[in-house]
Chains A and B, each alone.
Chain A
Amino acid sequence: MLGPRIEGRNGVALVPPTLDAAKKNARAMLEPEVGRFWGPRFGDFSDEALEKRFKDNAEGQDGILWHIDYAGEVVGFTGIFDINWIDRDGESGIFIGRHDLFGKGIASEAIRLRTQYAWTELRLHRVHNWIGLGNRGSRRANEKAGYVQMGLYPRSWYRSGEWYDEWLGEAFPNTFPAKG
């Protein structure tokens, strides 16, 4: 599913994805500046493959995908994937494709909007995710929206000559901050 437009604070909005912006986001994944906690920086990124992926995402009923708009420009994407409608649980993810925009609170706002939507519109029971332990910015952004640590997966990825552990988080409606 492609998510609806949700206006946020500080110039951030979640918007329905478009094919052109999806191609831009996908190719940003191939850049090392944004790939320390992403990967593996290879794959089929041809127009044909990206069009198929976009169509599959739009038609799929077990995930919801948004593009992240900042000051009128798409700068990344976020979503909830592999939703199990019986467990009412899904796995969340986020990608900001502009290194120069890191640290501006864009991910925090996008995650807040996404998480609120999970509880108030999708009626999910739980959302979980995996984040590189060293990706403190992403962890903090998720924690602000109510994610709490449920474990650590040791030596999950190999990057730049060293192993990174991975932080596993989960969120529930009652862990979402009362002030939203």
Chain B
Amino acid sequence: MALGGTIRGKKTSLRMPVEADLEAHQRWAADMRLRHADGVWHEPAMPATWKERLSEAAKDKQQVLWSIESADALVGFARARLWSMGQGVGLDHLVIDPDRWRSGLGYDAAFALHRYFFDYLDVLRCATDVRADNVAALRIAERLGYAEYARGHDAHYRNGAYVDQVLLFMDKTTWQERWSGEREYEPLPAESFR
């Protein structure tokens, strides 16, 4: 369960991470644009350490890691945590390579991933948190249907100052009201069930 299988969006695909992706993780962990926008999954490290991290991720029963591709190139990663008893999912990271920001990849991957959470895993809710000055992430969350339920004041420190943390959630009803026409599979014809 801990390395995610393929989830297809329109511009992106989430797929199982492989060792060849780790060089990009090292680059992203060291990129100050990303570090200001979001926390890092892990700090920069030697290649052997990244291999150990991937191995640990594969064994973890509660957390799922995906790599994100677009046009056959690695463009980011996502990591989610399944809550006990499978009632919900916490989206810990959805990271797009800063060189590819503002091209719609983040929204496309986020949409496909949430469709998987609600329409495939049948979770009751998703939760995430973003830094209050990460306008792009907030816009994606709002478009998907997330609502703010709490605000942690001065919760994260970067670039010489604190920034607030916005805590967001979306329940299954909201997802279905907004996106029930956007299923992964076409409905089966009635004769399929006879």
A contacts, CB < 8 Å to B:
40, 86-89, 125-126, 128, 150-155, 158, 168, 170, 172
What residues of chain A lie closer than 8 Å to B127, measured between beta carbons?
153
B87, B127, B156, B157: most-surrounded residue (chain A CB, <10 A)? B157
CB < 8 Å A-B pair total: 50
Partner of A153, one of B84, B150, B152, B155: B150
Please give me the residue from chain A that is nearest to B147 by CB atom: A154
B149 touches A89 (CB 8 A): no
Q: How far is the CA of A87 from the CA of B161 in the complex (A)?
A: 10
Q: How far is the CA of A128 from the CA of B152 in the complex (A)?
A: 8
What residues of chain A lie closer than 8 Å to B167, measured between beta carbons?
151, 153, 168
Tell me whether chain A's interface is mostly helix, strand or loop, or mixed. Answer: strand
B150 touches A87 (CB 8 A): no
A-B contact pairs, 6 of them (CB 8 A): A126-B152, A128-B155, A153-B127, A154-B149, A170-B152, A170-B155
A87 touches B155 (CB 8 A): yes
Q: How far is the CA of A157 from the CA of B25 in the complex (A)?
A: 35
Partner of B149, one of A40, A126, A153: A153
Kindly state whether residue B73 has any CB partner on chain A within 8 Å. no
Within the complex, the shortest CB–CB distance from B102 to chain A, in Å, comes to: 27
What residues of chain B lie closer than 8 Å to A155, measured between beta carbons?
125, 171
Please give me the residue from chain B that is nearest to A150 by CB atom: B150
Tell me whether chain B's interface is mostly helix, strand or loop, or mixed. Answer: strand
Please give me the residue from chain B that is nearest to A170 by CB atom: B152
B157 touches A152 (CB 8 A): no
B152 touches A40 (CB 8 A): no
Within the complex, the shortest CB–CB distance from A2 to chain B, in Å, comes to: 25
Within the complex, the shortest CB–CB distance from B146 to chain A, in Å, comes to: 13
B157 touches A150 (CB 8 A): no
Please give me the residue from chain B that is nearest to A89 by CB atom: B155
What residues of chain B lie closer than 8 Å to A128, measured between beta carbons?
152, 155
Kindly state whether residue B153 has any CB partner on chain A within 8 Å. yes
What residues of chain B lie closer than 8 Å to A153, measured between beta carbons?
127, 149-150, 167, 169
Within the complex, the shortest CB–CB distance from B176 to chain A, in Å, comes to: 16
Q: How far is the CA of A160 from the CA of B162 in the complex (A)?
A: 40
**Other contacts beyond A128-B155, A170-B152: 13, CB < 8 A:** A87-B155, A87-B162, A128-B152, A150-B151, A150-B152, A150-B153, A151-B149, A153-B127, A153-B167, A153-B169, A155-B125, A168-B149, A172-B154
What residues of chain A lie closer than 8 Å to B158, measured between beta carbons?
86
Please give me the residue from chain B that is nearest to A88 by CB atom: B157
B150 touches A152 (CB 8 A): yes
